[in-house]
Chain A
Amino acid sequence: MSELRPDLAIIADHVAPGSRVLDVGCGDGELMEVLQAQKRCDARGIEIDAANVSLAVARGLSVIQGDADADLVNYPDNSFDYAILSQTLQTARAPDKALSELMRIGRRAFVSFPNFAYWRVRLSLAWGGRMPVTPALPVSWYETQNIHQLTIDDFRAFVRERGIIVEQAWFLTGDRRCGEAAANLRAEHAVFLLRR
């Protein structure tokens, strides 16, 4: 699993073998492929980009073209053991709805996102006065798909208000894990495992 993006590797490591998984925003299916091959999961995916969907289907994965905003409503309650939203929450038109659909469809959910309170981001904004462009947020403000930027503390408050339980959380700087202490300042990425 070393080739996977670090946040995906964390998710792949912590999904129970043989479970049913929905990967929302699955890209070309790299996580799904690992889950299917190494964890014998029944993995399904949703992806907005047609070229990515074609790649994933050509890999033999069950992926449908769609997006978190429009298509999650069509899945029955509890139809998956895990619903995964990796690097997608901040691109949703309605992140709150997407998260509540995620928690309805999956018994558990993995959510990963870039942390907008990461110290380099703060520096860029506070001293540079410019919207940050970092490895985790590589695109200028006018072309970024990240329309709902959030921080780790924002996310903690967000799930707390909804009565969602954080089972576990992981924090990353670049490819390296970092501790929970001052994660909102030190972590570039976060991965949360949630349950109702």
Chain B
Amino acid sequence: MGVSGIAPRLPNPYSPHPMTEDSRFGLARTVTLAGPLELDGGAALSPVEIAYETYGVLNADRSNAILICHALTGDQHVASTHPITGKPGWWTRMVGAEKPIDPGRHFIICTNVLGSCLGSSGPATVNPATGAPFAMRFPVITIRDMVRAQAMLLDHLGVPALAAVVGGSMGGMQVLEWAATYPDRVRSAIAIAATARHSAQNIAFHEVGRQAIMADPKWRGGDYYADGDPPAAGLAVARMAAHITYLSEAGLTEKFGRRLQSRDAKSFGFDADFQVESYLRHQGISFVDRFDANSYLYITRAMDYYDIAEEYGGLLANAFRATRTRFCIVSFDTDWLYPTAESRAIVHALNAAGAPVSFVELSSPFGHDAFLLDMPELNRVVDGFLRAGERT
């Protein structure tokens, strides 16, 4: 653990990093790596910009690093205030002092994924070759490309291996890809509400979202950056459709039922009469302020291309053959986006590969998004699993 003089324990884990003059560590970091990053699609990206945050202190033997992978529309602000919305980090229930992932014990890294729009290379990035944003000329990427970019960042940070890689939803997909691609760099892996491949239904919902964006006349083939008039309507519809898949019927019924929005009777018009309509419209409208439509296209594409078993003869177990990584898989009973059956398929493959794996289906009325909500049971499981890894 922290040897004094190199990595002293600080009273406030959010204080400036003790490697004080080392600008690699801290909040709101951005780095431009030379690359090239060879992509699954055949293209190469150079340079590669990565926006990220670190919390806590990398210990002397560099053994306490935890990488947190974010979901489709998440970002690197896992436990810091979002620069656009001003809201607290997206996973402060899991990450923070006295939480399962604790900057007092762990060196925490969270990167904005490749293809996203919060500072990492993506379609909104200016192509150095042309001086104009890539837009749809950005190469199509995969989940594994995102993971490769994260590995490049770890090299830059001097982190040889991760005590754990943790994520929910698309973050969980990256977790599995990490374990398959870099088995020697991952000691523990926690994949929550995730899947090892995108199903036809998953792809179908994403295609609805993409078509909504592309059908917006303001999309203009993706070249909308210059005049600041993005396809907000299309992106909002994409978000509304997707948001339904993150909830559950029981959750929607409990939260909204058929209740009317600020009115006593139906309007016999097409205003948002129902609370659920108003809620979805709000979700759509607030989303466009913080997210880029082209990024939405690229990241949903990456998720649709995701099928870990594909490269291993269709046998998921082969992706984890001889792995020494410990796995913890968690699903939620009302998650119909990545239902428990998907998690079980992962668990069966890991068992067949002889990997140490824990799996639990937790009960929550809130569907897929349960992993972001207050779930004491989830925290207990993650905490116990991480601590057990730290004991060995």
A residues neighboring B (CB under 8 Å):
42, 44, 50, 53-54, 56-66, 71, 74-76, 79
Interface string of B311-340 (1 = CB under 8 A from A): 000000000000000101100000000000
Q: Point out the residues of chain B lying under 8 angstroms from A58, CB to CB.
A: 380-381, 383-385
Distance to closest chain B CB from A26 (angstroms): 11
Taking CB as reference atom, which chain B residue is nearest A44?
Answer: B356
Contact call B388/A65, Cβ cutoff below 8 A: no
Contact call B354/A64, Cβ cutoff below 8 A: no
Distance to closest chain B CB from A49 (angstroms): 10
Contact call A57/B384, Cβ cutoff below 8 A: yes
Contact call A50/B358, Cβ cutoff below 8 A: no
Distance to closest chain B CB from A77 (angstroms): 11
Contact call B360/A53, Cβ cutoff below 8 A: yes
Q: Which of A44, A53, A56, A65 has the most CB of B within 10 A?
A: A65
Q: Point out the residues of chain B lying under 8 angstroms from A75, CB to CB.
A: 351-352
Q: Point out the residues of chain A lying under 8 angstroms from B329, CB to CB.
A: 64
CB-CB under 8 A for A50 and B360, given A58-B380, A60-B388: yes
CA distance A90 to B170 in the complex (A): 41
Contact call B380/A54, Cβ cutoff below 8 A: yes
Contact call B351/A59, Cβ cutoff below 8 A: no
| Given pairs A50-B362, A58-B384, A74-B351, 14 additional interface contacts (CB within 8 A) | A44-B357, A50-B361, A53-B359, A53-B360, A54-B362, A56-B358, A57-B358, A57-B384, A60-B387, A60-B388, A61-B358, A61-B388, A64-B359, A79-B354
Taking CB as reference atom, which chain B residue is nearest A20?
Answer: B354
Contact call A63/B358, Cβ cutoff below 8 A: yes
B360 contacts which of A57, A60, A74, A76 (Cβ < 8 Å)? A57
B116-145 residues with Cβ-Cβ distance < 8 A to A are none
CA distance A42 to B326 in the complex (A): 12
CA distance A44 to B363 in the complex (A): 23
CA distance A78 to B372 in the complex (A): 40
Q: Point out the residues of chain B lying under 8 angstroms from A60, CB to CB.
A: 384-385, 387-389, 391
Contact call B381/A64, Cβ cutoff below 8 A: no
B326 contacts which of A50, A54, A62 (Cβ < 8 Å)? A62
Q: Which of A42, A60, A63, A66 has the most CB of B within 10 A?
A: A60
6 A-B contacts (beta carbon < 8 Å): A58-B380, A59-B384, A63-B358, A64-B347, A74-B351, A76-B352
Distance to closest chain B CB from A48 (angstroms): 11
Q: Point out the residues of chain B lying under 8 angstroms from A57, CB to CB.
A: 328, 358, 360, 381, 384-385
**Secondary structure of the A side of the interface?**
mixed
Q: Point out the residues of chain B lying under 8 angstroms from A64, CB to CB.
A: 329, 347, 351, 357-360
CA distance A144 to B377 in the complex (A): 27
CA distance A184 to B381 in the complex (A): 42
Closest 8 CB pairs of A and B: A60-B388, A58-B384, A64-B359, A74-B348, A53-B360, A62-B356, A57-B358, A58-B380
Taking CB as reference atom, which chain A residue is nearest B340?
Answer: A65
Distance to closest chain B CB from A64 (angstroms): 4
CA distance A5 to B172 in the complex (A): 38
Q: Which of B344, B358, B377, B388 has the most CB of A within 10 A?
A: B358
Q: Point out the residues of chain B lying under 8 angstroms from A50, CB to CB.
A: 360-363
Q: Point out the residues of chain B lying under 8 angstroms from A76, CB to CB.
A: 352, 354
Contact call B352/A54, Cβ cutoff below 8 A: no
Distance to closest chain A CB from B363 (angstroms): 7
Distance to closest chain A CB from B183 (angstroms): 17
Taking CB as reference atom, which chain A residue is nearest B330?
Answer: A57
Q: Point out the residues of chain A lying under 8 angstroms from B389, CB to CB.
A: 60
Q: Point out the residues of chain B lying under 8 angstroms from A42, CB to CB.
A: 356
A54 contacts which of B347, B357, B381 (Cβ < 8 Å)? B381
Distance to closest chain A CB from B192 (angstroms): 13
Taking CB as reference atom, which chain B residue is nearest A51?
Answer: B377
Distance to closest chain A CB from B215 (angstroms): 43
Interface string of B361-381 (1 = CB under 8 A from A): 111000000000000010011
Distance to closest chain A CB from B359 (angstroms): 4
Q: Which of A54, A63, A64 has the most CB of B within 10 A?
A: A64
Q: Point out the residues of chain A lying under 8 angstroms from B358, CB to CB.
A: 53, 56-57, 61-64
CB-CB under 8 A for A54 and B377, given A64-B347, A65-B360: yes
CA distance A63 to B380 in the complex (A): 14
Q: Point out the residues of chain B lying under 8 angstroms from A63, CB to CB.
A: 358-360
Distance to closest chain B CB from A154 (angstroms): 31
